[in-house]
Amino acid sequence: MTSSSSQSPDAAKPPARDPWDLPDVSGLVVGVLGGTGDQGRGLAYRLARAGQKVIVGSRAAERAEAAAAELGHGVAGAANADCARRSDVVILAVPWEGHAKTLRSLADDLAGKIVVDCVNPLGFDKKGAYAITPEEGSAAEQAAALLPDSRVTAAFHHLSAVLLQDPAVESIDTDVMVLGESRADTDVVQALAGRVTGMRGVYAGRLRNAHQVESLVANLISVNRRYKAHAGLRVTDV
Amino acid sequence: MTSSSSQSPDAAKPPARDPWDLPDVSGLVVGVLGGTGDQGRGLAYRLARAGQKVIVGSRAAERAEAAAAELGHGVAGAANADCARRSDVVILAVPWEGHAKTLRSLADDLAGKIVVDCVNPLGFDKKGAYAITPEEGSAAEQAAALLPDSRVTAAFHHLSAVLLQDPAVESIDTDVMVLGESRADTDVVQALAGRVTGMRGVYAGRLRNAHQVESLVANLISVNRRYKAHAGLRVTDV
């Protein structure tokens, strides 16, 4: 218990936190805005199948309810604003074209929520897909600018909607890069990703580095075309 | 041998080429410009260890020769221009800061060569690494603009220089995303990546989609810091 002059200067530091020590998120309600699109349906299905309480949101409550009934696993459907208000974590799976408009209209409903942006701003021409650079830098940074009262993160970009939606696929063998400014928030999103069989949530930086994660989907589209695959990504050595 | 009206309309199409049917590149000479830096040394070491003939280039021939002697495995050293002229494939592993200047001075020496840009334009501040966007879109597109007579590709961005250089590491468990405009050229670079134990070269699109591949290194730096790792990437389902 005595202090020694030979002690390492690092010895007083608390031990580094285990990055895999993530919170229990099994009780959180997850909303999926754009939950009637392919990516949204796929994410809703996988999370609900893993036991998470999921609400899919759409502009029209009836469409959301119809999608929810098809998805099963206890998924509920609601109009976007209602979906946002009833959820703890809200995944944005809307098309890039409607991203800013949707967020502006839902800013109050999303206040205080953990928002997970999984939107990939891409353009398409005869040569394939290419990255679009939003004025704010990325879709996630646009969300952060439009939702100053929300806790914005970015994740779930590199998943195949085909694999997510296929009930015969038992395991989604892809890591989910999770970006954000607050460790408490990214930890929750990582834990959520980890609920899905095969998936891991891996912290991958701040929102200012979201653009390349979003636009890498253009490259995965090229991979899919060349290899006739549903490509995803694994981070090695972690 | 008779033609039938019930024949599929697709039957006359040639079968799709197997994307893993890659050329034999074992006889090619590989130059590594910036071959005395960590990334360049690491790539030179791995390729030479795999049996490839490698020449490391540096501004000063003496420095290149000293690095080559340390690397062993038959690696030679030469001044940059000499290295470029004697090589079939030239990997650019120079710092981003010197990228344009180096290429301008070597355009004639690199004419006709397959050039592999592995440069990641990044900035660093107290919050870590962030992407820099070159005026041309990416380092690789800058190279293509400055080297109109070369066959410019982009690859080898996501490799840990620490692992590459560690002789105790037997296998580099990372895929190499290869980008370019010509399939003949990207096939060569993919085959080259595949020479290294553990590595695969995976086609990942055209040069216009190089920026996100280059700048994803900022995210891998965040991963390395959080997980105390030497992160790389695997493309799943291919």
What CATH number has the domain bearing residue A43? 3.40.50.720
Lookup result for tokens 């355009």: B107
Closest residue of chain B to A131, computed from CA coordinates: B209
Reported as a pLDDT band with limits 50, 70 and 90, residue B10 is low
Express each pLDDT in A164-179 by its tens digit.
999 999 999 999 999 9
Contact B209 A202 (CB under 8 A): no
Residue A103 belongs to some domain of the structure: yes
A228 to A112, A191, B18: CA distances (angstroms): 42, 31, 10
A150 to A34, A95, A117, B171, B213: CA distances (angstroms): 18, 20, 12, 44, 29
What is the C-alpha to C-alpha distance for residues A233 and A220, in angstroms, rounded to an integer?
Answer: 9
What is the C-alpha to C-alpha distance for residues A179 and A77, in angstroms, rounded to an integer?
Answer: 27
What is the C-alpha to C-alpha distance for residues B13 and B26, in angstroms, rounded to an integer?
Answer: 32
Closest CA to B30 of B147, B98, B118: B118
Token output for B109: 């020496």
**How many Cβ atoms from other residues are within 10 Å of residue A72's Cβ?**
11
Closest Cβ–Cβ partner in A213, A221, A228 for B219: A213
Residue A238 belongs to some domain of the structure: no
Residue A48 belongs to some domain of the structure: yes
Residue B202: domain span = 23-227
Residue A172 belongs to some domain of the structure: yes
Residue A220 belongs to some domain of the structure: yes
For residue B196, give the 3-state DSSP assignment: coil
What is the C-alpha to C-alpha distance for residues A9 and B42, in angstroms, rounded to an integer?
Answer: 33
Number of compact structural domains in chain A: 1
Lookup result for tokens 């981003």: B96
Q: Which of residues 196-215 of A touch B (CB under 8 A)?
A: 202-206, 208-209, 211-213, 215
Question: What are the backbone angles phi and psi of residue B76, rounded to the nearest 5°?
Answer: -105, 160
pLDDT of A78 > 80? The answer is yes
Residues of A in contact with B218 (CB under 8 A): 205, 209, 212
> What percent of chain A lies above the pLDDT cut of 70?
94
CB A24 within 8 A of CB A191: yes
Residue A91 belongs to some domain of the structure: yes
Contact B232 A237 (CB under 8 A): yes
Contact A223 B238 (CB under 8 A): yes
For the segment B132-141, the average pLDDT, to the nearest whole number, is 97
Contact A204 B222 (CB under 8 A): yes
At residue A35, the pLDDT reads 85
For the segment B217-237, the average pLDDT, to the nearest whole number, is 97
What is the C-alpha to C-alpha distance for residues B65 and B76, in angstroms, rounded to an integer?
Answer: 6
For residue B216, give the 3-state DSSP assignment: helix
As a whole number, the mean pLDDT across chain A is 94
Residue A237 belongs to some domain of the structure: no
User: Any chain B CB within 8 A of the CB of A105?
Assistant: no
Amino acid letter for position B31 = G
What is the C-alpha to C-alpha distance for residues B54 and B32, in angstroms, rounded to an integer?
Answer: 7
Residue B16 belongs to some domain of the structure: no
Express each pLDDT in A106-130 by its tens digit.
999 999 999 999 999 999 999 999 9
B49 to A230, B40, B160, B168: CA distances (angstroms): 33, 14, 17, 12
Contact B209 A232 (CB under 8 A): no
Contact B219 A209 (CB under 8 A): yes
pLDDT of A47 > 50? The answer is yes
Torsion angle (degrees, nearest 10) of CA A61, A66, A70, A73: 40
Closest Cβ–Cβ partner in B221, B230, B235 for A223: B235
At residue A234, the pLDDT reads 98
For residue A218, give the 3-state DSSP assignment: helix
- ipTM of the modeled complex: 0.93
What is the C-alpha to C-alpha distance for residues A34 and A117, in angstroms, rounded to an integer?
Answer: 11
A34 to A95, A113, B23: CA distances (angstroms): 8, 17, 45
To which H or E segment does residue A141 belong? helix A139-146
For B14, half-sphere exposure in the C-beta direction (CA atoms, 13 angstrom radius) is 3
Closest residue of chain A to B173, computed from CA coordinates: A236
Express each pLDDT in B167-206 by its tens digit.
999 999 999 999 999 999 999 999 999 999 999 999 999 9
Label each residue of B141-157 as H, E or C. Answer: HHHHHHCCCCEEEECCC
Token output for A238: 């972690």
Express each pLDDT in B76-98 by its tens digit.
999 999 999 999 999 999 999 99
Closest Cβ–Cβ partner in B130, B233, B235 for A209: B130
The burial class, CB within 10 Å (0-12 / 13-18 / 19+), for A184 is exposed
To which H or E segment does residue A177 belong? strand A175-180
Reported as a pLDDT band with limits 50, 70 and 90, residue A13 is low
Q: Which of residues 47-66 of A touch B (CB under 8 A)?
A: none
Token output for B67: 């690095």
